[in-house]
Structure 1
Amino acid sequence: MNSTEQPRISVRSPADLIAAVPYLLGFHPADSLVVLALRGRRIVFAARADLPPSGADAGPVARHLTAVIRRQSAEAATIIGYGPAARVTAAVDALRHAVGETSITVVDALRVGDGRYWSYVCADPGCCPPEGTPYDAAASQVTATAVFAGQVALPDRAALTARVAPVTGPAREAMRAATAQARARLGELLRSVPPEELSSARAVTRPAGAAHRAALEQTRRGERLSDQAVAWLGVLLTFLPARDDVWERTEGDDAHVDLWTDVFRRSEPELVAAPGSLLAFAAFRAGQGALAAVALERVLARQPDYSMALLLDDLLRQAVPPSRFTDWPTLNDKRATLPRRARRHRPR
């Protein structure tokens, strides 16, 4: 699920809508049910779900997507199903029914496949022929605008998942050695500090802050972090005060997303929870909900009780807009900015 607040994309036709979807989601959907929330003629939010299997009840998926767009204060919605008619039609019908029970107007409902689209709303063969309407997304002004703005649409969701996959082979072996060195370095650090600093957590928050600042500066310069820098940052982030201090400084610009993507991919499996969650938060703030979701999937598969990941997963499921975090972290208590359900998870 992605907010599209930055930038907003104007739509003027069904072909524009279809061209916009991959850039709103971050990848080209297949076998998917997508709903676009509209205010006026602008898309403000996009949500996607897998098509239910043939013959399965589409009601739960339809009700979930309807709840998502209602939280965006949508005035209208367009529904798009990707796949064969045998699977798409039942899912689109269920979603049209669920949205129809709200005050949101269904502007159009489409099926997309093989370079053509069909409307479930328009019955005029003059503008909506039964054989479908061909479209060329590459020729759309929406596509040109998205590319110019630096937005990327990966081939499919698998490509997005691969973007956060762990490194393997020699790179993994090098990180294993660097992590062992970082653990030894941490032990020496903790043995050398006064007891009062250990009790106040300054022994880890200060070096973590310094490591984070240095890594972010390198990332902004386009420099690759050394294995030692990644391992040292990852080891320090296992301490919750250090992670939370870095969390407060995590923004939604490209440098933060790139930094945490790199650290997440290269960290040893037992250290991925913090960098993966920080990546999810940076991606969420950047409006890259799909990237945040795949990062959280990997974190929670490894550590299903990691509360920061659970909290962020809750934010995505509730479709909380990133604009709720515009003033982050000016409030003393991070949880004061979160919706009530998300506050149930104490960060740990």
Structure 2
Amino acid sequence: MAELTYRQKWDRCAADDKKALEAVDNSASEQVARTTGEFVARQLTSALQISADDTVLELGCGAGRIGRQVAPRCGQWIGVDISPNMIRVAGQRLADHENVRLELLERTRLDMIDDDSVDKAYTVAVLCHMDKEDLFLYLREIARVLKPGGRAYLETWNLADPTGWQRWMYEVEFWNRSDQQGRKDVARNQFCVPEEFQLYADRAGLQPLTCFRDSPWVQIVAGKSLDAASVETERTRLAAERAAIAYSPMFGRLFHDTVKVIYGDRHPRDVLAEIDALPTCPEKPLFADFVRGLWVDEPERFGPMPGSGEG
């Protein structure tokens, strides 16, 4: 039977520490969590200009995969999540950082955070699991808690991208094969086209400054209460920083191959061989670690990975 609430779903997914990591990144590997978390943290630092004086909010912090890498870069890091189990695991993984505050969400609101109190906010791989009503309400709450002049990084699945469309079709065919007697998974993957996502951000009270759309993800950087000169300055800066923020064509290609591994359409051995043959690039170690993690975690599905000590 499908869970009725987001909390029930994510608490079950985070029933133990290993499952919590797996739920936030499809891998139970600490090495993968650190590699992917650092990759995203670098994107966020460039997108938002995170500094040592900033109070930074992460909506949907999960097991602290990203927060663990962002917290050392800012003055205070606030992580909020709907799942008590996720908050527990995040607390363990961020225990060495004294500037961390964790809060449990009770509904689609950030009541525990004051108006105009946060310098920077971000949410990664979270809004894509929400019904559109909840997505919009959280965007409206982010606009409320941001200080005037603050900025936010937002992302969700890009239905207009070929890989995004393929990922959507996995959801369609999964439902088509089901008995359709119960409700759909409350935290299933959901999708936007870029124009739709920008509309939600704008109507929530944010100022979309840029929208990167040439990948499986729509990425928006938005501001709050910026004057015209500041908007123009930020747009110029973000255009110059595009390579550090936007997912590259190589990221999209390797992500596409990784999705095929997850859904059983390709063997990790073949994808790893292709990754190994690539020239040096930031995406190469990221996806190599990720695909190896998938293989190590599921030897019964893929067979033992050479050198893993199994078999």
Q: TM-score normalized by structure 2? A: 0.32
Q: TM-score normalized by structure 1? A: 0.29
Structure with the higher helix share, 1 or 2: 1
